[in-house]
Amino acid sequence: MTGRAGIPWPWPLAAGMVVGVATGGPVGGAVGGAVGGAVGGALAWPLLVGAGVGLTAAIAVRGPVARAAWGALALGLVLGALRGHAFATAPDAWAGRAGEAIEVVARVADGVAWPMEPPGPGLLLRGAAPPGGVHLLQGSLVELPGRRNPGGFDARAHHGRHGITAALRVERSEPRAPPGFWPRARARLRLGVVAGLGAREAALMQALTLGWRDDLGPLRDAFAASGLAHVLALSGLHVGVLAGALTALAGGVGRARSLAVVAVLLAYLAVVGPSPAVVRATAMVSAALLGRAYGVGGAGWATHLALAGAATLAVRPGWLGDLGFQLSYLSVLGIGAAAGPLA
């Protein structure tokens, strides 16, 4: 993934994305306002810096490796600023509607409703929240609380990074048939996973394989009390085991077989839903498999990690401020850095 000529573009690209997303959103608002310019707001200064870096690289830097690295940094700055600004200024269908009664058809999972009809940001469920699945929900909107004390927890910002912008006090719910291909695929896969199992075993199997924790009930509290709640969360380990099993069943790594494994991993991601660890692992494994399949397999884990980070921030810029995203990448970086000397 560093290319045939050894061009280390993923790391400067990822660094540019981090800076661009951080400054293109609310963080860079004050700086952008001071700089001014035609773009205006938080976008002004990261775009200007990115354009300046790109121009400098094109004129002054000698050598293809250095030029590619500076160019990737400039691209990351500009793309990150655009994505960060788009995330920070995205319209919120629930803004200013606290107390209003609404009716939505939504996919419910882990106490959050993801509206499908009409579409909108996620809703944190309160009151008589239904179990996981697709439901018709009726209730009233509730504004999420912000930071109440300096340095305290900001629930509004925390949930906002994950696309949840309000709460819904549920007053009535009705189950609905899952519309669309992926919701139906998720429902069928759940039925296959729990076939032949008792209620307790089925709930645990769904949590361990699909990340579906709605049916755990008291078992979830028991895991939390014993300090093992993380066992119920999907992680990169699940993706690694699945990729390893698929590669072994496919009989090795070839172009067609690698594409098939990557397709299955992406389908698994679509079914279980995105989380920082699962997205990171899927991106890293996919980059490694495709790199080997297309003859650029000399890249190491660090290059795949940087590429995964850049791709993730391009799709989910709000995750930059999420502790789970940060720990996911920092833990892999620390493991990889320690593995070299230990080996």
* Cα 294 versus chain centre, distance: 26
Residue 133 confidence class, pLDDT cut points 50, 70, 90: confident
C-beta separation of 128 from 116 below 8 A: no
Question: Residue 274: which of 314, 225, 234 has the closest Cα?
Answer: 234
For 74-131, what is each residue's pLDDT tens digit?
888 888 888 888 888 888 999 999 999 999 999 888 889 999 888 899 999 998 888 8
On the question of pLDDT at 167 being above 90, the answer is yes
For 33-80, what is each residue's pLDDT tens digit?
444 444 444 555 666 676 677 667 666 767 777 777 888 888 888 888
pLDDT of residue 114: 92
Token duo for residue 152: 């305290």
The angle subtended at Cα 53 by Cα 51 and Cα 59, nearest 5°, is: 100
On the question of pLDDT at 221 being above 60, the answer is yes
Provide the Cα torsion 330, 335, 336, 337; round to 10°. 90
Partners of residue 132 on adjacent β-strands: none
On the question of pLDDT at 253 being above 90, the answer is no
- Scored b (16 or more CB within 10 A) or e, 4-30 reads eeebbbbbbbbbbbbbbbbbbbbbbbe
Distance CA 336, CA 178 (A): 41
CB atoms within 10 A of CB 166: 23
| pTM exceeds 0.95 for this model | no
DSSP letter assigned to residue 119 = B
Is residue 217 left, alpha or beta, with left meaning phi > 0 and alpha meaning psi from -120 to 50? left
